[in-house]
Amino acid sequence: MSARLPRAAPAPSVLALLAIGLSIGGCGGTGDDKDTPPRTPGSRGPAGLKVYRHAMDQAPTSLDPVQAANVYANFVVLNAYDTLFAYKYLARPFELKTNLAADWPEISADGLTYTIRIKPGVRFIDDPAFADGVGREVVAEDFVYSIKRHFDPKTRPQGAWLWINRIVGLDEWKAAGSDYAAEIAGLRALDTHTIRIQLTKPYPQLLFTLAMGFSAVVPREAVAYHGREFAVHPVGSGPFRLTSYDTSQVVFERNPRFRPEPVDIAFEGYDEAQHGFSGVAAIDGRSPPFLDRLEISFIAESSARWSSFTKGDEVQYTSIPNEHVDEVLATKQPVTLKPAFAEKYHFFAGVEAGFIFNAFNMDFPEFGYNDDPERERRNKALRCAINKAYSWEQRNESFYMGLGNIFPGIIVPVSPEFDPGLSRDSVTRDVAGARKLLADNGWTPENLPPLVYGANSSVSSRLIFEQFRAWMKEIGYPREKIILKRFATFGDISRAWKQSQLPYVSKGWGLDFPDAENTLQLFYGPNSSPGSNDANYRDPEYDRLYELSSTMLPSPERTAIYQRMNRMLIDDCVANTGLARTRIYLWHKNVIAIPDREIIGGFFLRYVDIVDASTGTVKGGAR
Amino acid sequence: MSAVAIPAVRRESLWSKAAWKLARDRTGMIALAFVLLYMLVAVGVTAGWWAADWSEVRGGKWEAMSAAHWFGTNLIGQDIFARAVYSTKTAFEVGLVVAVLATVIGAALGAVAGFFNGSWIDEVLLWLMGVLDSIPFYLFVAAIVFAMQDNPYAMHIAMISTFWTSVGRLIRGEVIKLRGLEYVEAAHAISVPEFVIIIRHILPNTTHILLVQATIMFVSAIKSEVILSFLGLGVKDGMSWGLMIAESSQEVMAGFFNNFLAASVLMFGLVMAFNMFSDALQDALDPRKVG
Read off the pLDDT of residues A359-410 as tens digits, 9 standing for 90 and up: 999 999 999 999 999 999 999 999 999 999 999 999 999 999 899 999 999 9
Q: What is the DSSP string of A576-621?
A: EEEEEPEEEEEEETTEE-----TTTGGGGGGG-EE--TTTSS----
| Res B149 pLDDT > 80 | no
Q: Give me the helix-helix angle, B258-285 and B207-230, nearest 10°.
A: 170
Least CB-CB distance to A326: which of B74, B246, B254?
B254
CA angle A503/A508/A509 to nearest 5° reads 115
**pLDDT for A611:** 84
CA angle B251/B254/B258 to nearest 5° reads 50
Hey, are the CB atoms on A470 and B249 less than 8 Å from each other? no
Burial group, residue A30, by CB count within 10 angstroms (0-12, 13-18, 19+):
exposed
**pLDDT for A307:** 85
**pLDDT for A412:** 96
Between strands A405-406 and A575-580, the pairing is antiparallel
Phi and psi at residue A400, to the nearest 5°? -130, 20
Lowest mean pLDDT: which of A22-26, A277-281, A570-574, A576-580? A22-26
pLDDT classification of A326: cutoffs 50, 70, 90? confident
Which of B163, B121, B157 has the alpha carbon at shortest distance from B142?
A: B157
Phi and psi at residue A263, to the nearest 5°? -80, 130
Hey, are the CB atoms on A459 and B246 less than 8 Å from each other? yes
Q: Which CATH architecture has domain A354-580?
A: Roll (3.10)
**pLDDT for A10:** 35
Tell me the chain A residues in contact with residue B243 when contact means C-beta distances shorter than 8 Å.
459, 462
- Distances from the Cα of A616 to the Cαs of A282, A288, A291, in angstroms? 12, 20, 17
Cα A407 → chain centroid: 21
**pLDDT for A21:** 36
Hey, are the CB atoms on B56 and A470 less than 8 Å from each other? yes
CB pairs under 8 A between A and B: 65
Residue A282: CB atoms within 10 A of its CB come to 17
| Res A284 pLDDT > 60 | yes
Cis link prior to A530 (omega < 30° from 0)? yes
Chain A (276-305) residues lying within 8 Å, Cβ to Cβ, of chain B: 302-303
CA–CA separation, A302 and A308 (whole Å): 10
Residue B216: CB atoms within 10 A of its CB come to 21
Candidates 3.90.76.10, 3.30.465.10, 3.40.50.1000, 3.20.20.70; CATH matching A13-293+586-610: 3.90.76.10
Tell me the chain A residues in contact with residue B232 when contact means C-beta distances shorter than 8 Å.
457-459, 486
- For residues B236 and A551, which has the higher predicted lDDT (pLDDT)? A551
Enumerate long-range contacts of A228-231, CB under 8 Å, 24 or more apart.
A230/A64, A231/A62, A231/A63, A231/A64, A231/A67
In chain A, list all ranges with CATH 3.10.105.10: 354-580
Question: Mean pLDDT score of chain A, rounded to an integer?
Answer: 88
CA–CA separation, A589 and A81 (whole Å): 29
Phi and psi at residue A117, to the nearest 5°? -100, 135
**pLDDT for A32:** 36
Instruction: Encode pLDDT of B118-133 as tens digits.
Output: 999 999 999 999 999 9
Hey, are the CB atoms on A323 and B253 less than 8 Å from each other? yes
Single-letter amino acid, residue B241: W
Instruction: Encode pLDDT of B8-61 as tens digits.
Output: 556 677 778 888 888 999 999 999 999 999 999 999 999 999 999 999 999 999
pTM of the full structure? 0.82
pLDDT classification of A7: cutoffs 50, 70, 90? very low
Three-state DSSP class for A508? strand
Tell me the chain B residues in contact with residue A324 when contact means C-beta distances shorter than 8 Å.
253-254
- For residue A430, how many C-alpha atoms fall within 13 Å in the half-sphere facing its CB? 14
- The secondary structure of residue B71, as a DSSP letter, is T
Three-state DSSP class for A182? coil
Show Cβ contacts of residue B49 under 8 Å, excluding neighbours closer than 6 positions: none
- The Cα of A130 is separated from the nearest Cα of chain B by a number of Å equal to 47
Instruction: Encode pLDDT of A206-265 as tens digits.
Output: 999 999 999 999 999 999 999 999 999 999 999 999 999 998 899 999 999 999 999 999
Which of A498, A598, A564 has the alpha carbon at shortest distance from A93?
A: A598
Percentage of chain A lying above the pLDDT 70 cut? 90
Single-letter amino acid, residue A211: A
**pLDDT for A323:** 81
Best residue of B56, B237, B251 to probe chain A, by most A CBs closer than 10 Å: B237
Cβ–Cβ under 8 Å, residues A178 and A154: yes
Residue B155: CB atoms within 10 A of its CB come to 26
Tell me the chain B residues in contact with residue A481 when contact means C-beta distances shorter than 8 Å.
none
A431 has a chain B CB within 8 A of its CB: no
Residue A210: CB atoms within 10 A of its CB come to 27
Q: In this predicted complex, what is the ipTM?
A: 0.83
Residues A478-497 have a mean pLDDT of: 87
Instruction: Encode pLDDT of A327-372 as tens digits.
Output: 899 998 889 999 999 999 999 888 999 999 999 999 999 999 999 9
**pLDDT for B6:** 59
Domain spanning B16-49+80-285: which CATH class is it, in words?
A: mainly alpha
CA–CA separation, B84 and B86 (whole Å): 5
Residues B268-287 have a mean pLDDT of: 90
pLDDT classification of B107: cutoffs 50, 70, 90? very high
Least CB-CB distance to A398: which of B76, B236, B243?
B76
In chain A, list all ranges with CATH 3.90.76.10: 13-293+586-610
**pLDDT for B30:** 96
CA–CA separation, A575 and A360 (whole Å): 6
- For residues A75 and A23, which has the higher predicted lDDT (pLDDT)? A75
Percentage of chain A lying above the pLDDT 90 cut? 69
- The Cα of B56 is separated from the nearest Cα of chain A by a number of Å equal to 5
CA–CA separation, A173 and B44 (whole Å): 70
- The Cα of A470 is separated from the nearest Cα of chain B by a number of Å equal to 5
| Res A107 pLDDT > 50 | yes
**pLDDT for A38:** 42
Show Cβ contacts of residue A229 under 8 Å, excluding neighbours closer than 6 positions: none
Best residue of A310, A323, A393 to probe chain B, by most B CBs closer than 10 Å: A323
Residues B206-230 have a mean pLDDT of: 92
| Res A5 pLDDT > 50 | no
Residues A281-291 have a mean pLDDT of: 95
CA–CA separation, A141 and A155 (whole Å): 18
Cβ–Cβ under 8 Å, residues A411 and A333: no
- For residues A230 and A489, which has the higher predicted lDDT (pLDDT)? A230
Show Cβ contacts of residue A224 under 8 Å, excluding neighbours closer than 6 positions: A129
pLDDT classification of A69: cutoffs 50, 70, 90? confident
**pLDDT for A313:** 67
**pLDDT for A9:** 35
